[in-house]
Amino acid sequence: MSPLKISWKSILSKPLSSALNSLLVAFGVGILTVLLLASSQIIEKLNNNSKGVDLVIGAKGSPLQLILSSIYYIDFPTGNISLAEAEKVIHHPWVKRAVPLALGDNYRGVRIVGTDTNFVKLYALKVSEGRFWGRDFEVTIGSKVAKEQQLKVGDHFYGAHGLMESTDIHKDHAYQVKGILAPQGNVTDHLILTNIASVWRMHDHRDEKHDEHHQEEKEITTVLIQYRSPMAVVLFPRMVNQSTNLQTASPAAESARLYSLIGVGVDTLKGFAMVIMLIAAISVLVNLYNSLKERSYDLAIMRVLGASRRKLLLIVIMEGMMISLAGALMGIALGHVLLEWIAMYQDKSHAKLTGFIIIKEEAWLIFGGLAIGFCASIIPVLQAYKTNISMILAKN
């Protein structure tokens, strides 16, 4: 008959109200868990994909759009830029690595990216099967692409114009899969990589049919820049803006801006969860307080049987804490299941979330749950501490 067991039996003796209190705590903690998991995964994905890229250069337009299209591959590019103009800045001594990207085609919604070996170095890519692309119209595909589109080394496919699934298929040239990338855990798992010339030839050919545009200078979509020195952070974008007609965007700054936009919603939900937790705390408090009134005679009897005041405090506090701890644990489990359920309704994309990840911040939720139990118990506990047992027993 330890104090713990006495508290536990007391909880079991009123299962409905105990369960209701736990459930309230569980809802609050559950919402917080979902938010915590989702936001940590989103931040991780944002950071993971922009790792090593200090600056993106592209056509004039929204810098956020530039980042979204060239780092996360989720929005449309701002337009194309002339290769000659880009060449003017990418050979600057501050630039350690410049990765040209030519976007514009897709295969069943998977983006085809024309680039060069710098892309491979930037993301430290490795092939798990076959080899990297070499000649025109050879491609190396991301691991998720291979799985989801069921492409193997040696397969042929036709690209389509645009970035979304479309019927405007380039029937003239077929791409051939030469290799499959090892899983990277970032956006490259969801891309089809080829050389820039393939993208150009795919479009040149079509242009020839219509007019004499093929004399026009070569174009690319964006260039990813990796700096050599930290000094470039401030000076290089200014230099690009002054000397060319190009637009620059910093992934770090734009990601932060993007996150601050999402952040408003996240903060609202967090506030909502906090309110639920507060209500849970009040409910636990009221319940303990009421049960304490009923139990004041019980507690007096325990004093007669030899229990010290402190032991009674322990019994009441532990009762509150057990209810809220159970709620916190349920809430965390609920949060994980909920997020996994949400993820089931997400389309197959590299932004997909998962509920099967445990992060260390969840320990804070458990701690928070215990704190709620403690705070909710403290008022009834003080009440119990003050009671005069002689009076209670005399009243009978």
Partner 1 sequence: MIKLQHVSHQFEKGATLAFDDWTIQAQEQWLLLGASGSGKTTLLHMITGLLKPGKGSVTINETQIYALSAKKLDQFRGRNIGVVFQRPHLIKSLTVFENLLLAQRLAGFDEDHKRIREVLNSLNIAEKEGVYPSQLSQGQQQRISIARAVVNRPVILIADEPTSSLDDQHTSIVMDLLKEQSESNKAVLLVATHDKRIKDSFTHRYELT
Q: Is 259 in the site for partner 1 (CB under 8 A)?
A: no
CB-count exposure of residue 276 (10 Å: 0-12, 13-18, 19+): buried
Q: Are 291 and 386 in contact (CB under 8 A)?
A: no
| Distance (Å, whole) CA 48 – CA 129 | 24
Beta-bridge partner residues of 265: none
Q: Contact letters (x/-) for partner 1, 211-250, by CB under 8 A?
A: ----------------------------------------
Q: Is 297 in the site for partner 1 (CB under 8 A)?
A: yes
Q: Is 10 in the site for partner 1 (CB under 8 A)?
A: yes
Q: Is 358 in the site for partner 1 (CB under 8 A)?
A: no
Q: How far is the CB of 296 from partner 1 (least distance, A)?
A: 11
State the Rg of the chain over Cα: 31
The HSE-up count of residue 334 (CA atoms within 13 Å, CB side) is 18
Region for 209 from its dihedrals, namely left if φ exceeds 0, alpha if ψ lies in -120 to 50, beta otherwise? alpha
Q: Is 310 in the site for partner 1 (CB under 8 A)?
A: yes
Residue from 209, 306, 345, 360 binding partner 1 (CB under 8 A): 306
Q: Contact letters (x/-) for partner 1, 370-389, by CB under 8 A?
A: -------------------x
Q: Is 311 in the site for partner 1 (CB under 8 A)?
A: yes
| Distance (Å, whole) CA 22 – CA 280 | 8
Q: How far is the CB of 2 from partner 1 (least distance, A)?
A: 7
- Contacts of residue 41, defined as CB under 8 A and 6 or more positions apart, other chains included, come to 353, 354, 357
Q: Is 108 in the site for partner 1 (CB under 8 A)?
A: no
Q: Is 390 in the site for partner 1 (CB under 8 A)?
A: yes
Q: Is 16 in the site for partner 1 (CB under 8 A)?
A: no
Q: Which residues bind partner 1 (CB under 8 A)?
A: 1-2, 6, 9-10, 12-13, 297-298, 301-311, 389-390, 393-394, 396
